Amino acid sequence: MKSTLVFFALVALAAAGCSGPKIGTMTGYDNADGQDDMHPGSVNDYEHTTPAFWANVNAVSIYNRDWNQWKYHNIIINYKGKNVTVQSWDSCANQDCPDHTPCCTNNAQKFAKPGFLVDVEKRVLKSAFGINNYDDVMAKISYYLCDKFDPKPIAKKYHLTN
């Protein structure tokens, strides 16, 4: 019975335009304080993120090497048996690393090469996974890269500017 359910789940993911699963790394960051994100309150193409945006959109950052191919895509991540759909809105660039190391590259390659990084904003970590301390997150995940979405209506709804 369980194998039948897994089969149908995989068929549904393929039908939804998803590829995977693959192994990646999940980390956490704070978009609001300026220590983890050199451009607090903004995501790649939009500024002035609001609490309502973070409460209703599972926005994540991906490694900037992957940005051009996977920007504005739905990504299903499996962490500790829980599947959560997130959306790529931002990118992690090594020059933004607060400790002046290639943290984005290192984190992306922690569990696989060339690796894939899903850097989850602290408010999304809390609402999606119940994780309170984003600094402690360095986890192996499986993920599916899925369909592209149009960010414009979402940005308009939450009054983001570009």
The two structure tokens encoding residue 95: 């020059």
Q: What is d(CA 128, CA 58) in angstroms, rounded to the nearest whole number?
A: 8
- Smallest CA-to-CA distance from 125 within 141, 102, 109 is with 141
Q: What pLDDT sits at residue 97?
A: 84
The two structure tokens encoding residue 62: 């991906």
Q: What pLDDT sits at residue 69?
A: 96
Residue with tokens 């549904």: 12
Return the exposure string of 23-36: e unless at least 16 CB atoms fall within 10 Å of the residue's CB, then b: ebbbbbbbbbeeeb
User: Which pLDDT tens digit goes with each residue over 34-48?
Assistant: 555 555 556 889 988
Domain positions in the chain are 22-157
Candidates 1.10.10.10, 2.40.40.10, 3.30.70.1150, 3.40.50.2300; CATH matching 22-157 = 2.40.40.10
- Smallest CA-to-CA distance from 149 within 75, 54, 94, 45 is with 75
User: Which pLDDT tens digit goes with each residue over 113-144?
Assistant: 999 999 998 889 999 999 998 888 999 999 99
Q: What is d(CA 103, CA 124) in angstroms, rounded to the nearest whole number?
A: 20
| pLDDT one digit per residue (tens) for the chain, 162 residues | 554 444 445 445 554 689 999 999 999 988 766 555 555 556 889 988 888 998 999 999 999 999 999 999 999 999 999 999 999 999 999 988 878 899 999 999 999 999 999 999 888 999 999 999 888 899 999 999 999 999 999 999 999 998
H/E stretch holding 9 = helix 2-15
